[in-house]
């Protein structure tokens, strides 16, 4: 039986690129055993110590060039020739001179609809690079039916070329009954008392300024509410509006920006929260929604893009452009115990419907449909 060599672009590993890194890590870690398929991982040179994270069953190639604008057009094609691959799986963009069939995972194309949420250079690069890859790819994987239809309509890609494989969550996201551990993490991030949690890198798409305004109104209109607002996420891009909003903010002492939080601490922060709010303007999937649900935390999230598809009937849906709706969603959960418990129970059940093993198996089915 012929053995096929499949290359997987794992450059996101180690970068803390939230959804992109979580996705590729979990696909790799859950690939089913198949003696006809050998995998070779292409890894970021900044994080060569992370190569051992995936055990010894995969070949590992580290790029030498740290500059991604040199790596993609020049070094990557050279390594593809050297490795003699039968298939290459990338996230978003593939090198122009790839010498084998391409599978591209395109999580979303938000830059096409909201270019103002990106730097001009980044939006231009994404538009041309991803559109070109989508046209050349043998198959496209995306993470929601919403994203599939968006790619079909925007890039005029045949529907049959695009396969949906839902994201999932790590098993560490679960209900935790360890008050001592929760207290330790709260002390580390200087969180005192109850809190509302938001998770997402600091960038325009996450809609943090409107969330801050909604939180301010919630506190002003409900003097008995003392919950703090904890925002988890590293600085990404175009985040100056967030800090401008915080200048002179009435409840600045109750807003905590944690910065990046390690994966092992995140489930603890979810578990300690009274509720989770995710008013994103656009998501291809929206992993934090499922993470919160799996931890037993009621969710308020947006009624746009893929978020209704992911949350099902287990969340309070709001218009992310309407500050009053964001605030009212939080108010409802904090003040209606029956609704709170209903959302909590439905969220726990909703999270169980997603599995990284299913995602990885379906990904391998895509590989096999091209190779066999």
CATH topology of 4-168+355-371 equal to that of 179-351? yes
Q: Domain 179-351 is classified in which CATH homologous superfamily?
A: Glycogen Phosphorylase B; (3.40.50.2000)
Q: Quick check: 112 and 205 in contact, CB under 8 A? A: no
Quote the pLDDT of residue 119.
Answer: 86
- CA–CA distance, 25 with 32 (Å, rounded to integer): 14
In this prediction, the residues of the chain whose per-residue pLDDT falls under 50 are none
Quote the pLDDT of residue 14.
Answer: 82
- CA–CA distance, 188 with 16 (Å, rounded to integer): 20
Quote the pLDDT of residue 173.
Answer: 97
Quote the pLDDT of residue 218.
Answer: 97
Phi and psi, residue 275, nearest 5°: -155, 165
Would you tell me how many other CB atoms lie within 10 Å of the CB of residue 44? 19
Three-state DSSP class for 255?
strand
Quote the pLDDT of residue 87.
Answer: 98
Three-state DSSP class for 215?
helix
Q: Domain 4-168+355-371 is classified in which CATH homologous superfamily?
A: Glycogen Phosphorylase B; (3.40.50.2000)
Domain positions in the chain are 4-168+355-371, 179-351
Quote the pLDDT of residue 51.
Answer: 56
Quote the pLDDT of residue 307.
Answer: 98
Quote the pLDDT of residue 16.
Answer: 66
pLDDT digit string (tens) for 289-335? 999 999 999 999 999 999 999 999 999 999 999 999 999 999 999 99
Quote the pLDDT of residue 55.
Answer: 67
pLDDT digit string (tens) for 42-83? 998 877 666 566 767 799 999 998 887 788 889 999 999 899
For residue 243, which of 197, 209, 277, 205 has the smallest C-alpha distance? 209
Give the chain's mean pLDDT: 94
pTM assigned to the model:
0.91
Residue 45 φ/ψ region, left for φ over 0, alpha for ψ in the -120 to 50 degree band, beta for the rest: alpha
Quote the pLDDT of residue 17.
Answer: 57
- CA–CA distance, 138 with 135 (Å, rounded to integer): 8
- CA–CA distance, 80 with 15 (Å, rounded to integer): 22
Would you tell me how many other CB atoms lie within 10 Å of the CB of residue 57? 9
Would you tell me how many other CB atoms lie within 10 Å of the CB of residue 165? 21
Q: Which helix (H) or strand (E) holds 316?
A: strand 316-318
Tell me which long-range contacts 363-368 makes (C-beta under 8 A, separation of at least 24): 363/27, 363/31, 363/89, 363/141, 363/165, 364/31, 364/32, 364/34, 364/37, 366/103, 366/139, 366/141, 366/163, 366/165, 367/4, 367/6, 367/37, 367/87, 367/89, 367/103
Three-state DSSP class for 222?
coil
Would you tell me how many other CB atoms lie within 10 Å of the CB of residue 345? 13
């Amino acid at each position: 039986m012929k053995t096929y060599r499949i290359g997987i672009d794992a450059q996101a590993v180690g970068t803390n690129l939230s959804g992109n890194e979580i996705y590729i890590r979990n696909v790799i870690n859950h690939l089913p055993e198949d003696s006809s398929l050998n995998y070779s991982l292409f890894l970021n040179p900044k994080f060569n110590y992370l190569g051992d994270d995936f055990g010894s069953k995969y070949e590992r190639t580290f790029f030498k060039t740290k500059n991604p604008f040199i790596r993609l057009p020049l070094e990557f094609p050279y390594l593809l020739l050297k490795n003699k691959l039968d298939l290459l799986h990338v996230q978003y963009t593939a090198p122009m001179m790839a010498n084998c069939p391409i599978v591209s995972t395109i999580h979303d194309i938000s830059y096409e609809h909201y270019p103002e949420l990106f730097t001009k250079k980044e939006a231009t690069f994404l538009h041309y690079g991803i559109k070109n890859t989508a046209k050349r790819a043998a198959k496209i994987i995306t993470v929601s039916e919403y994203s599939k239809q968006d790619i079909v309509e925007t890039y005029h890609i045949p529907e049959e070329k695009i396969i949906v494989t839902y994201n999932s969550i790590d098993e560490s996201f679960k209900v935790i009954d360890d008050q001592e551990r929760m207290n330790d993490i709260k002390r580390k991030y200087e969180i005192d008392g109850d809190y509302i949690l938001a998770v997402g890198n600091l960038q325009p798409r996450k809609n943090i300024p409107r969330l801050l305004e909604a939180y301010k109104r919630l506190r002003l209109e409900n003097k008995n509410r003392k919950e703090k607002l904890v925002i988890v996420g590293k600085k990404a891009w175009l985040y100056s509006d967030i800090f401008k909003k915080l200048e002179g903010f009435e409840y600045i002492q109750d807003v905590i920006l944690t910065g990046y939080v390690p994966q092992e601490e995140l489930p603890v922060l979810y578990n300690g929260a009274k509720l989770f709010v995710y008013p994103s303007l656009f998501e291809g999937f929206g992993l934090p929604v499922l993470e919160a649900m799996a931890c037993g935390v009621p969710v308020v999230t947006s009624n746009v893009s893929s978020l209704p598809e992911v949350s099902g009937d287990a969340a309070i849906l709001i218009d992310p452009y309407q500050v009053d709706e964001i605030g009212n969603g939080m108010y409802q959960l904090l003040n209606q115990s029956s609704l709170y418990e209903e959302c909590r129970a439905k969220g726990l059940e909703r999270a169980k419907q997603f599995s990284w093993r299913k995602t990885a198996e379906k990904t391998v089915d895509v590989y096999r449909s091209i190779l066999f």
